[in-house]
Chain A
Amino acid sequence: MSALLFILIFFPMLAAGVSFVIGRFGKTARSVFAAAVCAAMLAVSLILFISGRDLSVSVSGVLTGGLSLTLDGFRRLYILVISFAWTVAAVFSLQYFAEHYRSRNRYYSFFLLTLGAVMGVFLASDLMTSFVFFEIASFTSFVWVIHDQTEESITAAKTYLYIAVIGGLVLFMGLLLLWRTLGTLRIDGLREAAQSLSDRRPLYPAGICILIGFGAKAGIFPLHIWLPKAHPVAPAPASALLSGILTKVGIFGVVALSAGAFYGDVKWGVLLLVLGVITMALGGVMALFSVNLKRTIACSSVSQIGFIAVGIASASILGEHNSLAVTGTVLHMLNHSLFKLSLFTAAGVVYMNLHKLDLNDVRGFGRGKPLLFAAFLIGALGIGGIPLFSGYISKTLLHEGLLECAEFVSAGWIKCAEWLFLFSGGCTLAYMTKLFVVLFIEKHPERQTEFDAMRPCVNGASAAVIAISSAAILVLGVPSIAIRLASGAVGFLGGTKAGTAEFFSFEALKGAAICIVIAAVLYFALIRKATYRNGRYVDIIPSWMDLENSVYKPLINALTVIGEVFGRVVSGSADFVALAMRRSVLSSTVGHILSGATDTAAYMMRRTVLSSSVGRILSGSTDLAAYSARRSLLSPTAIRVVSRTTDQETFDSRDQQFKTSRIRKMHAGSVFTDALGHLLDRITHSQRFVLYFAKVRRLTYEMLRRISESFSFALIMTCIGVCVLLVYLLLK
């Protein structure tokens, strides 16, 4: 039996793959298959709901933290709601996507994947498992938002994705902190672990992180910004699920935390109460001014989520006495899921026929279309909290729960919160009146006859599911049934029993009456006066009043810019040092200057000491000296004179000597021999012989030089040396 829990999660996921394959062959078969899968899920959920059995199962080792699932009263109720919503959406999709839509295969795959993931979130028995499926649901539902791939839907989808990713990461951080503080992430163990904690302070950062994570998905202020953008751009069946179910995924986490770790914690409750009240009022005001059909309904979701948050906050503040608040919260969650299913489906019918969503373009479309009229009216009256309808019960319970908080929080604040509560209720009624008047009472200035001819505007299957979902709202309007449904579910929210109120007492009806008065004032004084000009509804909210574009995006841009600049500066500093060095110490300029200085010195020296003129002067003077010397002392004449005198003197003395010696030695008879010898002497000492010998001697010298220089000579010498050495050694 416990395996059924796995089937609830993984059967749609597997079916997603199957539907993709089927879609390759037949479009209709695929769409019907998807609807059949949802219907099967509905049947299983219904059986589980009726059987009323608690189940639980866990597998460790997989998915990091293990996979643990459980089924209790609240979860039984909610998986029924989920599978019901999916079935309605799947059946409605059959008609909605019938024509001029592309990428339907993708849509259906992610449609079923998201069903499995959402089931996983609600069935999870610990926050870790819940987180895993929460992330899957974020990413798979992203594909719905971006489905149309228009400029608008891509922008919205990116916002959605970023918020989902940031939310997911902060949630992850929060879970880590909570796990570190409490040592457990089991949802039913949180309360016990938190109560046994001596120091509760570390619990708050963890709680705030988790609140941001789940709150972003739920659309709680200040992370609601994606919701009015993303819900309207998705295809209508997907919008219904996004608003009706996907926001509850976030609420589920907030409830688990508030009823667990922060059970009876006044500080936490006040924080959540403040956020809830702001969300509630802000969403209502935004919806008042919106001029787009689906956007109005989406803003309304923000507002209703605020109501639910107020309920959770009251339950957290009240602790043990929270029965009214928890019952109100459960019922309002349930109601809101059904209202949005019904309203978005109705909006889908309008869009399917007209492909327009601007209120000015869809005026009068609903005239003469009874089913649409009935469905829309039931939804509007329900959400508006009109007595006899389901919204009245849940809002009354929430209101009384809020009043009970005065015991724990200063009464002035509670009074303030109460008035904002009633104001938001009035807003709800006012914008629903606005939509109702636009669709069913006013007439389109040009196309009214065309609109009237669009009948029937839905096919049989769609009509049936619209009727069924409206009927469900009516059934929940019966107090006893509603309380009975809630009684099984309040345990999850930390309640012990379902509380009930005197729904038709004067006090309760007074609240509804105040709401109606406020609504009337808002509708006639504000909507009809301020936003209805020249026969058209106009958006009078200036464009800068957009939290995303005027606060978040500039903030993120600034942060990334600061980060990048800082990084650049740091990483650039090393470069800068290198550059500075190159520019200063190692720069070519310094090099130029240094080498230039040498150049200059050389140049200056050349110009001064070594200049050519000085040189010329110097060398000139030498020349001059030489010249003058040559001219005077060394002149050929002088030399000649000198040498001649010297020669003459030498000759004279030699001749004298020779004469005297020869004459002294020579005998008279050897004069002839002397003459012969003189002759021979002349011959042998002739110039030619001298030259010849000089030549021979030069050649020999040259040859020897070459030899001595050549390597081989050296080698030979070495060899000789070695031989000598050898011989020497041998002899020794």
Chain B
Amino acid sequence: MNRFFLLFPILFPFIGALIVRNLKTEDTRKRNTLYEAVVVLSAACVWALILNRPSEPLTFYSFTDYFSITLRLDGFGSFFSGMSSTLWVFAMIYAFSYMADEERAKEFLCYYVMTFGVTMGICFAGNMITMFVFYEMLTLITIPLVVHEYNHESMYAGRKYALFSFGGSAFAFIGVVVLGVFAGGTTFKLGGYAATISQISRDLLYLIYVLTFMGFGVKSCVFPLHSWLPTASVAPTPVTALLHAVAVVKAGIFAIIRLTYYCFGASFLLGSWAQKVVQVIVMFTVVYAAVKAVKERHFKRRLAYSTVSNLSYILIGVTLMTEAGMAAGLCHMLFHAIIKISAFYCAGAVLKKTGREYIWELDGIGKVMPVTFACFTASALSLTGIPLFAGFVSKWQLCTAALSTGTPLGYAGVAVLIVSSFLCALYMINIVIRAFFPKRERDHFLRHPRSDAPAAMLVPVCLFSAVNIFFGLYGQPVVDLATNIARGLF
């Protein structure tokens, strides 16, 4: 396709969302349809681009010889953009239903659609500086979504999110500048180019890598920069599900993978102290967040901690600095997206339907909302890594990748994954037990008629669960795709 089509999925959501928001109609249905149409059109364009990738990059503007705003679609960008755009289409349906009786739904959806454009910008960025620009835009555009409720808690969450993100960007900027200046450009190239830098010492480069890693680590919730995410779980469920489990947090992961594999280069970092540092941080995050999730009593916050833990699963793969590690990380990136979005949707459905947000209030709810909780069970088992579910496939990939490095930290990574899987069973399956097997005397819903969530909420959830099981049974295509991306063959 013509490379100028790359602009369409980025700009059209902005323009479309603003037009739809300012339409003089009170008909919610009509407006929602238009919003959905904007997203579907953009997503269709994304898929058309993925299947028919423009070979040439699109450069708008060059500040200097090496700082330019460039869009280019490669395999990895296709992976993330395809994943996000597809999920967005279904997330919109859920969001319409969820926001139906909320105030300012119009504005909310407007920002929600605009975020799509920014996310695509991150996917299509051809170099570090472009990605950094869109990365900052993503922070800005999602702040209104986090503070949507305009109460004290959400304002606090929004402020925390903004502070953490901007602080992180400042660190990330170090890496962008250093690469730009010393490597003569920040264009993404699989294999990286840090090894060619001779002006500054390797140790300094490693230090810069760690700083930049932690900078992007804010969005991907690396300990100790993770705490904005559980706080931000006060946002409406469409935000916590799509943005705080997929788009925003995975944009952080995306940036880290770009940094590691496409700028610095895995072979440059392999075996360095920088790798050890980030590995240790990431492993600690996995276990720590899982422990916090076990201790957490608030449903959505528990899921948020679980997200923190699982994001670091991906990073365990990424920080192995091998092709297999990156492939495993990509697998988990996709599978976790599917799993967590459906888990959050179930939590949201419960919140909407019954107003219950704490786990001890859920005894016996499985009988009342059977479909929702069947889907939740699927995601719980999948997240724990039980065979037949997608989570197992990626866990297997992560473990084999970690073991095949043969390093002590690789073995430690496997141990960490195993321990956190157990903790995951504790915090996820306990909810399932409460929902389906309540103690009789504690059954809150004993004589409650069956009343499941509305179809618009159930359809996306069921769909994601079905995909979850499908990939659990037949995950090979995803594994192959991820491996090809990691090898630069796609």
Contact present for B418 and A173 (CB under 8 Å): yes
Give min CB distance, A174 to chain B, whole Å. 10
Contact present for B392 and A154 (CB under 8 Å): no
Q: In the bound complex, how far is the Cα of B399 from the Cα of A487, in angstroms?
A: 40
**Is the CB of B185 closer than 8 A to any CB of chain A?**
no
Set of chain A residues within 8 Å of B474, measured between Cβ atoms: 61-62
**Is the CB of A135 closer than 8 A to any CB of chain B?**
yes
Question: Which residues of chain A from 554 to 583 have any CB-CB distance to chain B below 8 Å in the complex?
Answer: 560, 563-564, 566-567, 570-571, 574
Q: In the bound complex, how far is the Cα of B426 from the Cα of A157, in angstroms?
A: 13
Q: In the bound complex, how far is the Cα of B396 from the Cα of A173, in angstroms?
A: 10
Q: Contacting B292 at CB < 8 Å: which of A64, A173, A180, A564?
A: A564
Q: In the bound complex, how far is the Cα of B366 from the Cα of A146, in angstroms?
A: 15
Give min CB distance, A118 to chain B, whole Å. 15
- With contacts A149-B439, A176-B399 taken as known, whether A571 is within 8 angstroms of B224 at the C-beta atoms is yes
**Selected interface stretch from A158-166, A437-445, A497-505, A615-623:** A158-166
| Interface SS of chain B | helix
**Is the CB of A150 closer than 8 A to any CB of chain B?**
yes
Set of chain B residues within 8 Å of A179, measured between Cβ atoms: 400
Contact present for B437 and A172 (CB under 8 Å): no
Contact present for A170 and B418 (CB under 8 Å): yes
**Is the CB of A44 closer than 8 A to any CB of chain B?**
no
Set of chain A residues within 8 Å of B387, measured between Cβ atoms: 63-64, 131-132, 135-136
Contact present for A64 and B404 (CB under 8 Å): no
| Size bracket of the A interface | 35 or more
Q: Mark A132-172, 1 if CB is under 8 A from B, else 0.
A: 10011001000000100111001001100110011011101
Q: In the bound complex, how far is the Cα of B284 from the Cα of A497, in angstroms?
A: 52
Set of chain B residues within 8 Å of A63, measured between Cβ atoms: 387-388, 472-473
**Is the CB of B415 closer than 8 A to any CB of chain A?**
yes
Q: In the bound complex, how far is the Cα of B292 from the Cα of A57, in angstroms?
A: 45
Q: In the bound complex, how far is the Cα of B386 from the Cα of A565, in angstroms?
A: 29
Q: Contacting B440 at CB < 8 Å: which of A132, A135, A149, A165?
A: A149
Set of chain A residues within 8 Å of B415, measured between Cβ atoms: 173
Set of chain A residues within 8 Å of B438, measured between Cβ atoms: 149
Set of chain A residues within 8 Å of B206, measured between Cβ atoms: none
Q: Contacting B422 at CB < 8 Å: which of A62, A165, A563?
A: A165
**Is the CB of B425 closer than 8 A to any CB of chain A?**
yes
**Is the CB of B263 closer than 8 A to any CB of chain A?**
no
- With contacts A149-B438, A176-B400, A564-B295 taken as known, whether A169 is within 8 angstroms of B421 at the C-beta atoms is yes
**Is the CB of B288 closer than 8 A to any CB of chain A?**
yes
Across the interface, name the chain A residue whose C-beta is closest to B227.
A571
Set of chain B residues within 8 Å of A132, measured between Cβ atoms: 387-388
Q: In the bound complex, how far is the Cα of B381 from the Cα of A65, in angstroms?
A: 19
**Is the CB of A177 closer than 8 A to any CB of chain B?**
yes
**Is the CB of B384 closer than 8 A to any CB of chain A?**
yes
Contact present for B433 and A146 (CB under 8 Å): yes
Q: Contacting A574 at CB < 8 Å: which of B224, B288, B421?
A: B224
Contact present for B388 and A570 (CB under 8 Å): no
Contact present for A560 and B224 (CB under 8 Å): no
Across the interface, name the chain B residue whose C-beta is closest to A65.
B396
Contact present for B287 and A176 (CB under 8 Å): no
Contact present for A172 and B433 (CB under 8 Å): no
Question: Which residues of chain B from 429 to 478 have any CB-CB distance to chain A below 8 Å in the complex?
Answer: 429, 433, 437-440, 472-476
Set of chain B residues within 8 Å of A162, measured between Cβ atoms: 422, 425-426
Contact present for B418 and A570 (CB under 8 Å): no
- With contacts A63-B387, A172-B399, A172-B418 taken as known, whether A157 is within 8 angstroms of B437 at the C-beta atoms is yes
Contact present for B224 and A64 (CB under 8 Å): no
Give min CB distance, A646 to chain B, whole Å. 82
Q: In the bound complex, how far is the Cα of B399 from the Cα of A170, in angstroms?
A: 12
Question: Which residues of chain A from 60 to 74 have any CB-CB distance to chain B below 8 Å in the complex?
Answer: 61-65
Set of chain A residues within 8 Å of B395, measured between Cβ atoms: 172
Contact present for B414 and A173 (CB under 8 Å): yes
Across the interface, name the chain A residue whose C-beta is closest to B397.
A64
Set of chain B residues within 8 Å of A169, measured between Cβ atoms: 385, 418, 421-422
Q: Which 5 A-B pairs have the closest CB atoms?
A: A132-B387, A567-B288, A165-B425, A571-B224, A563-B291
Between A and B, 16 residue pairs with Cβ closer than 8 Å are: A62-B473, A64-B396, A135-B386, A135-B387, A149-B440, A151-B439, A158-B433, A169-B422, A172-B385, A172-B418, A560-B294, A564-B291, A567-B292, A570-B223, A571-B224, A574-B224
Which residues of A are at the interface with B, using a C-beta cutoff of 8 A? Answer: 61-65, 131-132, 135-136, 139, 146, 149-151, 154, 157-158, 161-162, 165-166, 168-170, 172-173, 176-177, 179-180, 560, 563-564, 566-567, 570-571, 574
